[in-house]
Chain A
Amino acid sequence: MAELEAGTTTGRQRPRPLSPHLQVYRMMLTFVMSGFHRISGFVLYFGILLLAWWLIAAASGPNAYANVEWFMGSLIGRLVLFGYTWALLHHMLGGIRHLIWDTIHGFEPTERELLALATLVGSISLTLIVWVVGYLAMGGPR
């Protein structure tokens, strides 16, 4: 406010600096990964219902558990579970990145870009590894 008033007292409006809108920023990986972290957290918030459903079904009995098994085994169920796995691991690695930043390390341009890239590559790789191991544990896709 003080700046605005100072601008008007000179008699003519000085062009004030405007905050750049989101669309004019060059897309940076750190910016995208920051959004991913919040979105993955938001998704996981509701995704935990899958875990709760699984636990309650297991505690309820064989019939309830069969329903969970049926859903998780369906194409949609597998897609949801795959997304949940990725969101979980991505949020975990993103969290580790934030913990590193909390120690005031990794803020150099190359470092923060590397950390952002490592989060993405790491989460995708870990998700694929978990699913390959999972399928191997089940004796292959079925």
Chain B
Amino acid sequence: MKGPQMRTPMRRVRGLGAAHSGTKHFWHQRVTSVAGIPLTIALVVIVVALLGRNHAAVVQILGSPIVAIVMLLFIINTVYHMWIGMQEIIIDYVHEDKLKLASLMANTFFCFAVAFASAFAILKLSFGV
């Protein structure tokens, strides 16, 4: 690397910055944002296409493989993206240690719950029963 280095040699050895995890989350937020563009457009198209349809039709369309796969990808990608985003917001604004840890935990619980509940619903719509 050329130019002056802001990082100390020890940090360079460990490959970690102040976040204690390097730039992993920064990069993952970029990857999920790029993936999120087509997936968000697809979600809007799917929802608009299902407007006003009765339950049976909605179940049939949501459960069809292509739609279900796109919905699953949207959910997984979006939940990971929003998990990183909320973690960043918490770290920025919550400075009291216990409250910060509790908020970070709550963020993880919420994201897992939303992802699993939504994924379960989509899989149930696909596989029936």
Contact = CB atoms under 8 A, between A and B. Distances in A.
Interface of A: 38, 41-42, 44-45, 48-49, 51-52, 55-56, 58-59, 61-62, 65-66, 85, 88-89, 92, 95-96, 98-99, 102, 130, 133-134, 137-139
Interface in B22-75: 30, 33-34, 36-37, 40-41, 43-44, 48-49, 51-52, 55-56, 58-59, 62, 71, 75
Contact of A41 (B30, B79, B85): B85
Given A59-B125, A88-B44, A98-B33, A139 B62 contact: no
A129 B59 CA distance: 26
A58 B125 contact: yes
B7 to A, nearest CB: 21
Nearest to A135: B51
A48 B79 contact: yes
A133 B48 contact: yes
A16 B120 CA distance: 59
B89 interface: yes
B52 A139 contact: yes
A58 B62 contact: yes
Contacts of A130: 44, 48
A38 B37 CA distance: 17
| Overall SS of chain A's interface | helix
A88 B118 contact: no
A55 B62 contact: yes
Nearest to A142: B52
B105 to A, nearest CB: 15
Given A56-B117, A96-B37, A62 B55 contact: yes
B44 A48 contact: no
Given A41-B89, A48-B78, A99-B30, 11 more contacts: A52-B118, A55-B118, A56-B118, A58-B125, A61-B55, A66-B55, A88-B40, A92-B36, A134-B51, A138-B52, A139-B52
A89 B121 CA distance: 25
Contact of B58 (A65, A133, A137): A65
A51 B50 CA distance: 13
Contact of B33 (A44, A51, A55, A95): A95
B124 interface: yes
Contacts of A38: 89
A89 B43 CA distance: 11
B101 interface: no
Nearest to A65: B55
24 contacts: A41-B85, A41-B89, A45-B82, A48-B78, A51-B43, A51-B75, A52-B117, A52-B118, A55-B71, A55-B121, A58-B59, A58-B121, A59-B59, A59-B121, A59-B124, A62-B55, A65-B58, A92-B40, A130-B44, A130-B48, A134-B51, A137-B52, A138-B51, A138-B52
